[in-house]
Structure 1
Amino acid sequence: MGLSYRVLMAGAYPADLLAQALPMITKANPVLLASGRYGLIEDDAGRLLACGGWSLERPGSGEMVEGLAHIRHFAVRPDAVRHGFGRQLYQWCEDAVRAQRMTHFECHASLNAEGFYRRLGFRRGRELSLRLNASLTLPAIEMLKNLERHGVQS
């Protein structure tokens, strides 16, 4: 996440904000990693190309809403962008969420990621200000997807 966020978020956020935010937003969430809901894509040499997952708990609050799942900690190596790795991980997440009978996805997307989520069928929700600590917030965008409208719900 560190390399991806540092490079790909640079055009969307001021350098001083990123310098403060990156150490906080690139830490792996141990609960998410251990949940079985986080995936990795590596190349043949074992180099990490992309990562991402989902949770039932809303980031930052732990709140759970019936039928709602959350996209979490997606990142793609800058030199692997636009090769379908992010889409492949997203599809893995959506398949798992549908199997759990979730009907909606929500994502707190960085400003540079809005286009990626839009191409996956998400719509823009409200603008967010993610509190990273007592004095630091990161602008983000709520992205929403109704899974019942995108494919057959079994």
Structure 2
Amino acid sequence: MLIRPSTQKDLAVVDALLMRTYPKLLKADYPSSILVKALPIISRAQPKLLSCGTYYVVEEDGVTRGAGGWTQDEDQLDLGHIRHVVTDDRALRRGVGRRLMQHCFQMARTVEVLKMECWATRTAVPFYKAVGFTEVGPIDVALVDGMGSVFRQCGCYATSRTGVTQRSACRRTTFLIGKRLERFKF
């Protein structure tokens, strides 16, 4: 599998991946009354992310199997935000998402980002737990007027040499990047 930074040329492919995959994966966890409003918003690639340098596509034999990335917080430079992650529903359980997260963590460490935060759909919470995040709780994100959030906060505690360090101020979703990531070997 190849993980590479995305470009604007990936817009149509990432759009198609989001539009094909999100409806299939989310339908088990959300009523159709929510999905009909949420999917047109969350199933679209974000052009700014595609060219930010920290958003990636995962390719296997020339086929895009996943996408996602992270951005650095503008105010808290040691904090990063996991952004718009998707794995092709036909490639689930093959390590695409895990490899993508490992890549994001490694790249974030190079610019001294030590913590990550993530907003996840209910469907994605088990995945984020599997890569080390801990669910913090529901958050409210108004996607359209009159509709509540489809997201949950996920955070993580990382074990350091001195013990367990916890960072979850303001109920932010936090993943401390450090020794704990060494367990993710591919």
TM-score of the pair, normalised by structure 1: 0.87
Instruction: Using the TM superposition, name which of 82-91 and 25-34 deviates more.
Output: 25-34
Cα shift readout 1:91-145 (whole Å, capped 9, x = no counterpart): 1100011111111110000001111001101111121122112222323211121
Name the residue aligned to 1:136: 147
Contact map agreement 2:72 2:113 (CA 8 A) in 1: no
SS at match of 2:94: coil
Q: In 2, distance between residues paired with 1:127 and 1:64? A: 23
Q: In 2, distance between residues paired with 1:151 and 1:94? A: 8
**Percentage of matched positions with identical amino acids:** 31
Shift of 1:42: 2.2
Contact map agreement 1:21 1:138 (CA 8 A) in 2: no
- Point out which structure has higher relative CO (alpha carbons under 8 A, 6+ apart): 1
SS at match of 2:27: coil
Cα shift readout 1:27-64 (whole Å, capped 9, x = no counterpart): 211111111111111232x332111110124xxxxx63
* Aligned-residue CA RMSD (Å): 1.6
The 5-angstrom pairing of residues 30-109 of structure 1 reads: 30-44=47-61, 46-57=62-73, 64-109=75-120
Choose between structure 1 and 2: higher strand proportion: 1
Name the residue aligned to 2:25: 8
Name the residue aligned to 1:148: 178
Q: In 2, distance between residues paired with 1:66 and 1:42? A: 30
Shift of 1:146: 1.6
Shift of 1:20: 1.1
Name the residue aligned to 2:160: none
SS at match of 2:149: strand
Name the residue aligned to 1:60: none
TM-score of the pair, normalised by structure 2: 0.73
- Which structure is larger by alpha-carbon Rg, 1 or 2? 2
What is the number of equivalent residue pairs in this alignment?
146
Please tell me the residue identity of whatever aligns with 2:48. V
Contact map agreement 2:80 2:108 (CA 8 A) in 1: yes
